[in-house]
Structure 1
Amino acid sequence: MRQAAAVVPAGALLVAVLLVGGCAGSAVPGPTIGGTPGGAAPADAGPAADPPGTPGSSSPFNGTDIAWLQLTVAMHERVLPLLELVPERTGEPALRRLAARVRDTHRAELDLSRRLLDRSGAPKTNPHEGHDMPGMMTETELSALGTAPDAEFRRLFGQHLREHLKQSVRIAGAEQRAGAERETTALAAAIVRTGTEYLTQLGELDG
């Protein structure tokens, strides 16, 4: 059973999400909190080049930007197969329209997130790949949806999409407050806005 992310101050939220999901110790710098990147080098470590997000480096991206982009890529990649199941699993018109809108939005957000990560100079390998984090679909859940009857599919779809959207909005809000790179924080603001709208529309379908 996946654990829920703890409620923590905005600047530390991404750190909590990474720890809860078992992704601490990734090869990228931790989110910057109070001007200090998470984690410290061993006492006997020699001099090394500043990674993206390190104070004093020339990169406009801080550790929070990179951690958030990596997590957003992983979450969006996991939810897209769920959204793509809808046309073949249910004939409910309103649900099909909502799923199509969310799918198109997520594809655009995923594309931009990947381009921003490339620009940041972060490692190409996503440290969250293959991990089951809060708000992420698992292979088991996706498999169950593939064989669920229509009514059960609609119930589970709403449950999983709601969890994904809530977590996406939550960590995007943290990026808005603690991130540094302008286009990345603008993407976070857009995800908060569209995610909140989609949550409202999902609630209306449930009603």
Structure 2
Amino acid sequence: MRARAALLTTAVLLAGCAGGTPADSAGPPTVAPAASTSSSVGSAGSFSPTDIAWLQLTAAMTDRLLPVLDLVPTRTTDPAWRRLAADVRASNRADLSRSRQLLREAGAPTTNPHEGHDMPGMITTDELTALRSATGETFHRLLAAHLRAYLTQTVRVATAEQKSGVHPATTTLAATVIRSNTTHQQNLNNLSPTPTSPAPAR
């Protein structure tokens, strides 16, 4: 399922998602043709399918993250974790607001084309349920894993947008996402270093 989701993510960034195939369904994802473009209403230039696909994916991923961050004040009293969660929430809520604004300017559909997709970096319903019942170090461990997956994937797809997108305001937003979420990654690693695999037995 995760492999198909990764392929869908790549297809979304290259050509835009037609919104018809969940990541865990049978068969390859349906992808919109890459040739069409949408004219911008409020910004200079035009939006390419890559721009719109990235904006839609960013909005969908952030929508999944916010309920996770909302749990932090009730699940931990650690000031460092609370500060990290607040910083991630603030910058990513701002990015979400800007993404939705640009989608409106592009005349893109207001519905979420990734509804029901469990794509890389998106927390699932079961994972959120587990977080809601966790406390202490278990909560910190799960939170770190989900944040790391989200931050890593958002930087990855924003980098693809910055390289392949054409709309100036959208590629500028991608640069902002890369900068802020890379900083959040570094701060997360200071709190919870990336687990390393044990050395093989000799």
From 118, 130, 134, the counterpart of 2:104: 118
User: Do the aligned partners of residues 17 and 78 (structure 1) sit closer, same or farther apart at CA in structure 2, a change above 3 Å counting?
Assistant: farther
Report deviation, 1:130. Answer: 2.4
| Contact 1:145/1:156, CA 8 A, preserved across alignment | yes
Task: Give the paired residue count.
Answer: 181
Shift of 1:24: 3.0
TM-score, with length taken from structure 1: 0.78
Q: Is the 8 A contact 1:169 1:196 kept in 2?
A: yes
1:72-99 per-residue CA deviation (whole Å, 9 max, x = no partner) reads 0000000000011000001111010000
Output the CA distance in 1 between the equivalents of 2:172 and 2:146. 26
CA, structure 1 residues 5+174, in 2 after alignment: closer, same or farther (shift >3 Å)? same
User: Tell me, which stretches of 5 or more residues in structure 1 are unaligned?
Assistant: 38-49
Q: Is the 8 A contact 1:52 1:59 kept in 2?
A: no
- Could you tell me how far apart the structure 2 residues matched to 1:99 and 1:168 are? 16
Output one character per residue of 1:90-128: Cα deviation in whole Å (capped at 9) or x when no partner. 111101000000001111110000010000011121210
- Compute the RMSD of aligned alpha carbons: 2.8
Q: Which residue is equivalent to 2:131?
A: 145
For residue 6 of structure 2, what is the amino acid of its counterpart? Answer: A
Alpha-carbon displacement from aligned partner over 1:40-94 (angstroms, at most 9, x marks no partner): xxxxxxxxxx6527xxxx9600000000000000000000000110000011110
AA aligned to 1:90 is T
Counterparts of 2:192 and 2:45, CA distance in 1: 45
- Mapped to 2, the partners of 1:106 and 1:149 lie a distance apart of 24
In the alignment, which residue of structure 1 is the partner of 2:164? 178
Q: Which residue of 1 aligns with 2:30?
A: 25
Change (3 A) 1:189 1:51: closer
Q: Find the residue that maps to 2:116 and give its secondary structure.
A: coil
Alignment match, 2:151: 165
1:74 alignment counterpart: 60
Q: Is the 8 A contact 1:5 1:20 kept in 2?
A: no
Does the CA-based 8 Å contact 1:5-1:17 persist in structure 2?
Answer: no
Q: What is the identity percentage for the equivalent residue pairs of Structure 1 and Structure 2?
A: 49
TM-score, length-scaled by structure 2: 0.80
* Partner Cα distance (2:157, 2:22) in 1: 13
- What letter is aligned with 1:52? S
1:95 aligns with 2:81: yes
Gaps of 5+ in 2: 194-202
